[in-house]
Amino acid sequence: MFGTSWRVGRIAGIEVRVDSSWVVIALLITYSMYLQVSQVYQDISAGEAVWIGVLATVLFFGSVLVHELAHAVVAQARGIRVQDITLFLFGGATRAKVESRGPGDEFLIALVGPLTSGLLAGLFGIVTGLGRDVLSRPLAGTFGYLAWTNLLLAGFNLVPGFPLDGGRLLRAALWRATGSLARATRVASMAGQGVGWLLVAAGVAWLLAGDLAGGIWFAFIGWFLVQAARSSYQDLQLQQLLRGVEAEAVMASDLVRIPPELSLQEAVDDYFMRYDHSGFPVEEGGRTIGLLTLRGVRRVPREQWPTRRVRDHMVPLNEQVVVAPEARMDGVVGKLQDGQANRVLVVEDGEVVGIITPSDLTRWLRRWQALDSSAR
């Protein structure tokens, strides 16, 4: 769903990332604030207008970050691990595995976001009121604007369309009522798609009425919501499918083993160029002692390949992510997504019996889909 994102820091043990789309939006907001401030306050200097534009943008994204942190902190307090927070477009996403815990936790975690935005709106409102005599008029006006923006953020997030917070509240309520997460997600994501299409329609109407910028914004947000609602439902379907599948069924078991004394050049010529694998188990005396990966080889300059040994550039077995053959695939996929290794080894009685990479999973899914559609 996201493009490139950068790690910007860690707050309360949670990794905070910024999506590349954010840069464009930040510039746009700064510029439009600058324009607005210089139009409303005729006597303002250009320098002050730029300064206020930057300040408003920083506080706006700070507000979004605080909203997301509220979700993350409550999730962690309920014992749910949070992967990271990514700020993108004008919003954010907190990645946590809430689904596994039940409707009560999901309700609480979803609710705290809009509540926090409401609280921030109140705070900015108070600053505006108190600062009227102390702050310059443009500055007080900017805080007032931020109060409204946070109120809008709270309101928009409460719209009952999944994956917005309101949609999560709806899903949690349906989940509790029906006892079925799948059915609750289906209805909530249908609502999300419905709301998304409504926004698209409103955007088009606005566009036809002559408001180009407003119309495009609405249509874009609506389209984004439709896509997000659709893909969150598909993710859940996939997760449920994988819950019934064991690692053994998906893993590549046609392992080609490589001796540790080979040079990297021989490993490249006789293994990487010959087989469709990006990693080979290194075997010594009948046991796997490590894994030689394409990434590991690439780290060594090409002219040194003939003189370097596989043994010195393999990743030891104990540094690999390992699962049992009967591990459920939904958990394995979680490990594939978490780790930077991009690969899970399937180990039985201390011996590597298979490897699962994202492409093994894709291949398995393609076979499954082909069989599933022919069975219908």
Nearer to Zn ion, 142 or 185 (CB): 185
Cα–Cα dist 93/164, whole Å: 10
**Is 68 known to be catalytic?**
yes
Considering only 24-32, 110-118, 250-258, 296-304, which stretch makes contact with Zn ion by CB under 5 A? 110-118
Nearer to Zn ion, 157 or 320 (CB): 157
Considering only 157-165, 172-180, 259-267, 285-293, which stretch makes contact with Zn ion by CB under 5 A? 157-165
**Torsions phi, psi for 274 (to 5 deg):** -100, -35
- Residue (of 148, 146, 234, 231) closest to 196 by Cα position: 231
Site membership for Zn ion, residue 161 (CB under 5 A): no
Q: Give whole-number Cα distances, 9 to 15, 85, 145, in Å.
A: 6, 10, 28
Site membership for Zn ion, residue 166 (CB under 5 A): no
By the 8 A CB rule, do 175 and 107 touch? Answer: no
Place of tokens 């005599």: 133
**Torsions phi, psi for 246 (to 5 deg):** -95, 155
Cα(first)–Cα(last) distance of the chain, in Å? 30
Nearer to Zn ion, 85 or 251 (CB): 85
Q: How many residues does the chain have?
A: 376
Q: Which one of 15, 48, 68, 284 is the catalytic residue?
A: 68
Site membership for Zn ion, residue 165 (CB under 5 A): yes
Considering only 7-15, 46-54, 131-139, 162-170, which stretch makes contact with Zn ion by CB under 5 A? 162-170
Q: Which two tokens stand for residue 58?
A: 């920083």
- Shortest Å distance, C-beta 83 to Zn ion: 16
- Shortest Å distance, C-beta 161 to Zn ion: 13
Nearer to Zn ion, 19 or 165 (CB): 165
- Residue (of 120, 64, 122) closest to 93 by Cα position: 64
Considering only 41-49, 100-108, 159-167, 262-270, which stretch makes contact with Zn ion by CB under 5 A? 159-167
Nearer to Zn ion, 163 or 354 (CB): 163
Site membership for Zn ion, residue 113 (CB under 5 A): yes
Count interface residues toward Zn ion (CB under 5 A).
Answer: 3
DSSP, residue by residue, 241-253: HHHT-BHHHHSB-
Site membership for Zn ion, residue 106 (CB under 5 A): no
Q: In this structure, what DSSP letter does residue 117 have?
A: H
Cα–Cα dist 55/223, whole Å: 30
Residue ranges that bind Zn ion, judged by CB under 5 A: 113, 157, 165
Active site residues: 68
